[in-house]
Amino acid sequence: MAQTLQRIRLLLLAASIAASTACSQREQTVVILETTDVHGSLFPIDLTEKRTQPHSLSHAATIIAREREKANQTVFLLDGGDILQGQPSTYYANYIDTLRPHLVARAMNHLRYDAGVVGNHDIEAGPTVYRRVERQLQMPWLAANVTDTRTNQCAFKPYTILHRNNVSVAVIGLITPSIPNWLPPHMWPNMRFDDMVQTAQRWVDEVRRTEKPDLVVGLFHAGHDYTYQGGTYDQHCNENASIVVAEKVAGFDLIMIGHDHDAHCRRYANPYGDSVLVLDPAAGAQYVAKATIKLKRNLFGRITSKTIDGELISTKDEEPCPNYMATFAADLDTLTHFSAQPLGEFTRYISSSQAYFGPTAFIDFIHQMQLQITEAEVSFVAPLSKYSFISAGKIDMSDMFKLYRFENFLYTMHLYGHEIQRYLEYSAGLWFNTMKQPSDHLLKFKLDSTGHPIVDERGAAQLANNYYSLDCAAGIHYTIDVRRPDGQKVQILRMADGRPFHPDTLYRVAINSYRGNGGGGHLTRGVGLSPDELRARQVASTQLDIRHHIAELIAAHPGPIDPQPLNCWQVIPLSWTQPAAKRDHALLFPPKANKH
């Protein structure tokens, strides 16, 4: 009898403990939001195109506020980089309104961002700008894989620990290490950009050991396609190594990325048995990435389970946040006036839509400006937007952002004639199909399994390579014969002034700093120059961006400007290429995708 009573007491005690433990299982909901690649889209107005836009940071602010108002969840807000470039708003704040606190810092502080990672286009703004913004931000700006070569310490803060409502979140920041391939060294003085995988392994181990956070989040300004531009899975310093990190490095609960402007929401497994959610909310604040994490803790406060779900919330159906708009109303008014600053007059409408098929007044006007600024003999230019146009009549500062999208500097470089030839062959190989018959495509498109061009959400065919890699030249006359194989398409006939073109002659070439530092591979993979040789070939550089110098020349021009194509190159045979160009233009710019 006594043994039975004792057994009953033990069973009751066990049940009591189990019930107590069950009751002590406390569940918390943590929400982590991310914007990325905002590129100056701070307002519901595109200051370049002078029209309203359905997505911006002002729209994202409405989603952010709504998430913070929800009961029983702890919200953290992160940014994935590249916010300091892309619109007149950031150009004005970067280089003109330099005495007041930076507009981007004020906007991010207003929205109470918890952390951000530095992007390559933030570095492109120059150290005076990004260090100014870093000082003014009320959040850490991260980049664990950027090393100060003077001290061998991190040039930016490597990680931060966020504490809120008894939840600790470690955020480790990484930036694409390809910056030296795109930007001149004075943009990143005394810095070294290290491999993402190796850096992630170091810091995730250290953070978990020393900080013991509840969650570890990777915040990476690097895309998900590690094969981009010929990259490989095990490549050292791969430009877009985010997925490689997710699959190779244990310890991340969540990875939020950017850089590639590609909406992405997918789980990845690694050999350690982890499943890591990777979120990318594209660009221009089209989406806000949202990770919802359910944490359960036991009686002792230890986490017993985590569930992580993700989604991309579109901003297109949101209204701009009234509080945000009221706070920055005076800034928007100033920026509107800056964008409308008159510069000159064009006698004709110019468009880049025909630049994929031959010479255009739009691209050739940039060629002429580059040749005038540098007094070079040859110029290289690619379209910097898939499609852009400037109307006839008065032109203003906003038109300069249509004409030249990026804050590139203008280099003068020395290239031999045979290197110019290889440069153009490399570009033509990215650009033009090898036509076997007149009915073939002229352009290289991304093709599906049936051989048909893959189209985007607007029905436009997608080019096989980025439009900004499709360089043409001025200062020389040449043809591109699309019947010939890649590497044998280009024939340079003569200099534009009638002089003979010689393969062994050293020519002065005007080229933007992105390309001059190896961006796109034209001078490295195409011509075969090493990074050291690239630097040795640089004769001069402008001190300010190309857009600034073009605006100055336009403003100084006496009277209206009549942009004309130079007609210095041709895609042949015309009997094949002209009909093919019409067909491919309709695929690239279907009427429903573009009104112009």
**Per-residue pLDDT at 12 exceeds 50:** no
Task: Compute the distance between CA of residue 589 and CA of residue 584 in angstroms, rounded to an integer.
Answer: 8
State the chain's mean pLDDT as an integer: 94
Same domain, 278 and 411: no
**297 compared with 5, residue with greater pLDDT:** 297
Same domain, 157 and 250: yes
| Domain stops at, among 335, 370, 391 | 335
Same domain, 179 and 247: yes
**8 compared with 593, residue with greater pLDDT:** 593
Same domain, 271 and 355: no
Question: Where does the pLDDT of residue 3 fall: very low under 50, low under 70, confident under 90, or very high at 90 and above?
Answer: low
Flag whether 19 is in a domain.
no
- What does the pLDDT look like over 488-533, one tens digit per residue? 999 999 999 999 999 999 999 999 999 999 999 999 999 999 999 9
Task: Compute the distance between CA of residue 430 and CA of residue 486 in angstroms, rounded to an integer.
Answer: 9
Question: Where does the pLDDT of residue 1 fall: very low under 50, low under 70, confident under 90, or very high at 90 and above?
Answer: low
Same domain, 268 and 392: no
- What does the pLDDT look like over 78-134, one tens digit per residue? 999 999 999 999 999 999 999 999 999 999 999 999 999 999 999 999 999 999 999
Helix count and strand count (H, E) for the chain: 17, 29
| Contact predicate 479/569, CB 8 Å | yes
- What does the pLDDT look like over 440-495, one tens digit per residue? 999 999 999 999 999 998 899 999 999 999 999 999 999 999 999 999 999 999 99
Same domain, 121 and 216: yes
Same domain, 230 and 143: yes
Flag whether 2 is in a domain.
no
Question: Where does the pLDDT of residue 236 fall: very low under 50, low under 70, confident under 90, or very high at 90 and above?
Answer: very high
- What does the pLDDT look like over 405-444, one tens digit per residue? 999 999 999 999 999 999 999 999 999 999 999 999 999 9
- Provide CB contacts within 8 A for 387, sequence distance 6+: 351, 352, 353, 589, 594, 596
| Domain stops at, among 311, 335, 359 | 335
Flag whether 11 is in a domain.
no
**Per-residue pLDDT at 350 exceeds 80:** yes
| Contact predicate 340/397, CB 8 Å | yes
Flag whether 235 is in a domain.
yes
Two tokens, residue 190: 């005394």
Tally the residues of the chain. 596
Q: What is the CATH number of the domain that holds 111?
A: 3.60.21.10
Task: Compute the distance between CA of residue 83 and CA of residue 570 in angstroms, rounded to an integer.
Answer: 39
Two tokens, residue 428: 């033509």
Percent of the chain with pLDDT over 90: 92
**Per-residue pLDDT at 351 exceeds 60:** yes
Q: What is the CATH number of the domain that holds 492?
A: 3.90.780.10
- What does the pLDDT look like over 260-315, one tens digit per residue? 999 999 999 987 888 899 999 999 999 999 999 999 999 888 999 999 999 999 99
Compute the radius of gyration of the chain from its Cα atoms. Answer: 27
Cα atoms found within 13 Å of the Cα of residue 160, Cβ hemisphere only = 19
Same domain, 273 and 322: yes
The range of the structural domain enclosing residue 300 comes to 25-335
**Per-residue pLDDT at 149 exceeds 90:** yes
Two tokens, residue 101: 């606190």
What confidence score (pLDDT) does residue 229 get? 84
- What does the pLDDT look like over 354-402, one tens digit per residue? 999 999 999 999 999 999 999 999 999 999 999 999 999 999 999 999 9
Task: Compute the distance between CA of residue 357 and CA of residue 21 in angstroms, rounded to an integer.
Answer: 71
Flag whether 596 is in a domain.
no
Same domain, 351 and 329: no
Question: Where does the pLDDT of residue 353 fall: very low under 50, low under 70, confident under 90, or very high at 90 and above?
Answer: very high
Task: Compute the distance between CA of residue 333 and CA of residue 280 in angstroms, rounded to an integer.
Answer: 32
What confidence score (pLDDT) does residue 18 get? 44
Task: Compute the distance between CA of residue 516 and CA of residue 181 in angstroms, rounded to an integer.
Answer: 9
Range of weakest confidence among 24-33, 152-161, 324-333, 361-370: 24-33
- How many structural domains are present in the chain? 2
Flag whether 6 is in a domain.
no
**Per-residue pLDDT at 23 exceeds 80:** no
Flag whether 105 is in a domain.
yes
Same domain, 246 and 370: no
**Per-residue pLDDT at 336 exceeds 70:** yes
Same domain, 233 and 381: no
| Contact predicate 209/216, CB 8 Å | no
Flag whether 595 is in a domain.
no
| Contact predicate 300/331, CB 8 Å | no
| Domain stops at, among 317, 335, 353 | 335
Question: Where does the pLDDT of residue 248 fall: very low under 50, low under 70, confident under 90, or very high at 90 and above?
Answer: very high
Same domain, 87 and 172: yes
What confidence score (pLDDT) does residue 591 get? 84
**Per-residue pLDDT at 241 exceeds 90:** yes
Which among 242, 102, 238, 226 is positioned nearest to 172, based on CA atoms?
Answer: 242
